[in-house]
Structures are given as C-alpha cells and as structure tokens.
C-alpha cells in the first residue's frame, strides 16, 4: 500500500473515532496540516473553536503567530507536520484530561509511525507533559533539547501564551531558531540564507 493510501486510511480512522467524550461536542476531528512525511512534527494541545470549525490545527490567532514563525525560518509545508495531543476540541477550550490524552495517544502513536519525524517541537506545558510523561514546568525545560531514540525533542512555549505575555516572544523565536539549526545539522534543510534585499 502506498503511504498516501495508508495515510487516507489513518485519517478515516480518526474521523470515525468515538473513543472519548470529546466526540460528543466536536464539529470536526482535527488531524493535521503540513506534509504527510515531514522531518519536523509540531505538537500543540488541542483544537480551539476555529480549528474545530475548519478541521485544521492552528488556524486561529495562535496559528497566525505559528505561521509567521514558520515563514520567517523558511519552513515549508513539506518540512513540517502540525497536530495536537487531542484531535477533538475540549469544550470551552479546557485542558484535555489525562484519559482523553491517553485515548488520543493511540492515534497519535500511529500518526508518528506514518510521518516518522526526527525533530519534535512541543508547544506548551500540556504538549510537553502528555508527550513526555514529565510533570516539569515548561518554563524550566523550554529551549533544552531532549535526545531519545535518534530523535530530538524541543519543548517551547505555546504561541497563545506568548500572545498573552509578549515578553516571552524572543524565547519562542530562539527555540524556533534552534529547531531550524537542528534540521540543517541533520541535513533536512540547507543553511538559512538571508536575502540581502530583505536587510
């Protein structure tokens, strides 16, 4: 079976998932945007109202900041795969419960096996906690690479947090710069060129 066929099958499985009660209130199951095969996986917490309505992750205000970061570091759709810890919107944008995250992890693990990213960017404390199983605060761990099974994991702030506290903006940019550099070191991307015309 081609990767596209396997991917389509996986998406269908997600769309029909009713494993937790988030299925009751969702409008859409939010699976991903970006490349199906991508060296970088970007993980958020869970869909908000805009994502639920449109069926794609990070398409609201946080998504606008994320897109600005991606384009600033010349990251293209084929380079990244964006998804969330849970694929359905928690009502009122509450944090997903441990049980919801655990149910959805089964789909996320399948997703990882299909996408096979080498670099992970975990955005926000919830993504960090549920992805790694660690309870350490995001402020302590952000910006520090975790190396595991030949993969590289970078925890960082969630864009929504940075929008609420713009003093944290430069740290989010720094972490994106580290991710870009790592993708270059691993030969997934050429060195970032700054066009003299832009200076």
Please give the residue ranges that form the binding site for ligand URA (CB under 6 A). Answer: 44-48, 51, 57-58, 60, 62, 84
Question: Taking the complex as a whole, how short is the minimal distance between the CB of residue 21 and ligand URA, in angstroms?
Answer: 19
Closest distance of CB 45 from ligand URA, Å: 4
d(CA 95, CA 78): 29
Give me the least distance between CB of 185 and ligand URA, in Å please: 27
Smallest gap, in angstroms, from Cβ of residue 48 to ligand URA? Answer: 4
List, in order, residues 6 or more apart from 156 with CB less than 8 Å away.
Answer: 121, 122, 123, 124, 138, 142, 143, 171, 172, 175, 176
Per the CB < 8 A criterion, the answer to whether 129 and 98 are in contact is no
Cα-Cα end-to-end distance for the chain:
48
Q: Residue of minimal CB distance from ligand URA?
A: 44
CA distance 55 to 133: 27
Considering the complex, state which of residue 43 and residue 183 has its C-beta at the smaller distance from ligand URA: 43
Q: How many other C-beta atoms lie within 10 A of the C-beta of residue 2?
A: 7
Provide the token pair at 67: 């897109």
Phi, psi of 156 (to 5 degrees): -145, 180
| Run of H or E including 53 | helix 49-54
* Minimum gap (Å) between residue 4 Cβ and ligand URA: 23
Q: Which one, 29 or 189, has the nearer CB to ligand URA?
A: 29
Question: How many Å apart are CA 29 and CA 71, to the nearest integer?
Answer: 26
Q: In the complex with ligand URA, which residue's Cβ is closer, 48 or 189?
A: 48
Q: Which is nearer to ligand URA, 40 or 189 (CB)?
A: 40
Which is nearer to ligand URA, 57 or 189 (by Cβ)?
57
The nearer residue to ligand URA, 84 or 111, going by C-beta atoms, is 84
Give min distance, CB of 196 to ligand URA, in A: 36
């Amino acid at each position: 079976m081609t990767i596209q066929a396997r991917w389509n099958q996986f998406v269908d499985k997600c769309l029909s998932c009713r494993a937790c009660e988030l299925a009751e209130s969702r409008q859409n199951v939010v699976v991903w945007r970006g490349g199906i095969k991508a060296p970088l996986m970007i993980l958020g917490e869970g869909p908000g109202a805009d994502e639920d309505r449109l069926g794609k992750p990070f398409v609201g205000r946080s998504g606008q900041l994320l897109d600005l970061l991606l384009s600033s570091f010349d990251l293209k759709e084929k380079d990244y795969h964006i998804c969330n810890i849970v694929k359905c919107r928690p009502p009122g944008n509450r944090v997903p419960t441990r049980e919801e995250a655990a149910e959805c992890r089964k789909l996320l693990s399948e997703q990882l096996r299909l996408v096979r990213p080498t670099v992970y960017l975990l955005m926000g404390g919830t993504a960090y906690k549920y992805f790694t199983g660690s309870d350490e605060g995001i402020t302590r761990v952000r910006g520090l690479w975790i190396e595991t099974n030949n993969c590289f994991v970078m925890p960082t702030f969630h864009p929504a947090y940075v929008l609420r506290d713009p003093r944290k903006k430069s740290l989010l940019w720094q972490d994106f710069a580290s991710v870009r550099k790592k993708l270059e070191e691993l030969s997934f991307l050429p060195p970032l060129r700054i066009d003299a015309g832009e200076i």
